[in-house]
Chains A and B, each alone.
Chain A
Amino acid sequence: MYTVRSYVRPESLEQAITELKSGKHNRMIGGGVFLKMQHRAISKLISLDGLGLDQITQTDESVIIGGAVSLRDIETNPIILDHFPALSYAVSQIVGVQLRNLAQVGASVFSRYGFSDIIPCLLAADASVKLAEAGEMKISEFLDRERDWDILYEISLPKEVTLAYDNLRQTNGDFSSLNLAIGKTEDDWRIVYGARPMGAFLAEAASQAAKDGQSLEEVTRLVQEEVPFGTNLRASADYRRHLAGVLLERLWEVQ
């Protein structure tokens, strides 16, 4: 458990970012579930409670998810179920309802956890994120950035993308041993692996090959060649490389 000197509930995003930057031991808090497992001394803990960022809305082109939306809301929201049922499924596999009712998507994505089930979906959907300071950018750009003092307050997913997601877990509610998200539009494929155990990775050559109409075998070969896999308590790199093909085959059939 962390220790906190003070807790702040700013009245605007601007105020939140000012508070955040007022000291180097300040931290944003989402649901606080994963933050709780970290042993750090925090001067000021800042939440986005009450800023209206807990809404899921849509425009003609996009589905827009506020940074304070809970994972459970993503799972059950009709707009998400309508346009991105795979995203709903991806979050539904995380630990339990009670955790998902607390955990917030903005903080979860901002933390760039290697085990994330959400980030691969966002990367495959070529989603955009809005940061209080740095402004709007593609999720890919966000993932490449150095960690900095900012607030991720909105995510938007283009409706033109058809998203598919699958994972392999050793037990239900565990972290994924590997997950895969595929985003397809009329003229594009984006194949993304997560929990490798490192963070989400866009397999560019494989995506291009899929887009060019190459066979599953060829795309699998490319995935296994270009995606780096690692070993942790859950699985070895070799096993993950093998699973990468299995998951691809599963989603390939669904498409």
Chain B
Amino acid sequence: MITLTVNGKVHQTEVDTNEVLIDTLRRLGYKSVKRGCETANCGLCTVLLDDKAILSCSLLSLRADGKHILTLEGVREEAKLLGGFLAEQGGEQCGYCTPGLMMNTIAMKRELVDPTDEEIAHYLMGNLCRCSGYVSQLRAIRQYLEV
């Protein structure tokens, strides 16, 4: 039995020793968290663990015991703002990489001060997207950072 605080809500749940955080979160109903690979390359599964962006596909759920987790479902205001900019640009496209990208972008906004385009691209390097070609997303993220 582990205790996870997800988006402020405390969950006590049994987890298999093999279970990784993404599967626990999806089982608990946080379906925004997506998986796109098995090699820690795609960034789709990004959530914030004690305020740091991590790959939820790579962390055993047992190691998240007692931690605070934030998923896209838990950042409504920021998601609405950033999501609005993405949608205006058409940069959300199929949307499958969007939750992970948005979580890492939110982490970036909290961490970097006035980043350049290169710094943004580097911070978000681990978030693959195949639909957008990235440039529309960069336009949206720049707008979001300026708010």
Question: Could you list 20 examples of A-B contacts with CB < 8 Å?
Answer: A1-B20, A7-B17, A7-B60, A7-B63, A32-B63, A34-B40, A36-B20, A45-B17, A49-B63, A95-B40, A97-B108, A97-B125, A98-B46, A98-B54, A99-B40, A99-B58, A99-B126, A102-B58, A102-B59, A172-B125
> Interface size for chain A: under 10, 10 to 19, 20 to 34, or 35 or more residues?
20 to 34
**Which residues of chain B from 58 to 99 have any CB-CB distance to chain A below 8 Å in the complex?**
58-60, 62-63
Query: A24 within 8 Å of B by Cβ?
Result: no
A1 and B55 contacting across the interface, CB-CB below 8 Å:
no
A55, CB-defined interface residue at 8 Å: no
CB-CB nearest in chain B for A72:
B52
How many whole Å from A161's CB to the nearest CB in chain B? 26
A3 within 8 A of B: yes
Of the residues A31, A97, A173, contact of B107 by C-beta under 8 Å:
A97
Q: Give the A-B pair count, Cβ closer than 8 A.
A: 80
Given A37-B38, A98-B104, A4 contacting B54 (CB threshold 8 A): no
* Cβ distance A214 to chain B, nearest Cβ, rounded Å: 36
B39 proximal to A (CB < 8 A): yes
Contact indicator A5/B17 (Cβ below 8 Å): yes
Among A34, A36, A92, A97, the most chain B Cβ lie within 10 Å of the Cβ of A97
CB distance from A147 to the nearest CB of B (A): 23
Q: At the interface, yes or no: A33 with Cβ under 8 Å from chain B?
A: yes
Is B116 an interface position by the 8 A CB rule? no
Contact B126 A32 (CB under 8 A): no
Check B60–A4 contact: CB distance below 8 A.
yes
List residues of chain A with CB within 8 A of the CB of B54. Answer: 98, 101-102
Q: Is the Cβ of A97 less than 8 Å from the Cβ of B58?
A: no
B55 near A33 (CB under 8 angstroms)?
yes
B13 in contact (CB, < 8 A):
no
Q: Could you say which residues of chain B place their CB within 8 Å of the CB of A49?
A: 63
Quick check: A32 and B53 within 8 Å, CB to CB?
no
A1-B38, A32-B59, A97-B104 given; A173·B17 CB < 8 A: no
A37 touches B126 (CB 8 A): no
**B40, B59, B108, B126: residue with the most chain A Cβ atoms closer than 10 Å:** B40
Contacts of A96 in B (CB 8 A): 41, 43, 104, 124-127
Name which of A2, A32, A95, A96 has the most chain B CB atoms within 10 A of its CB: A96
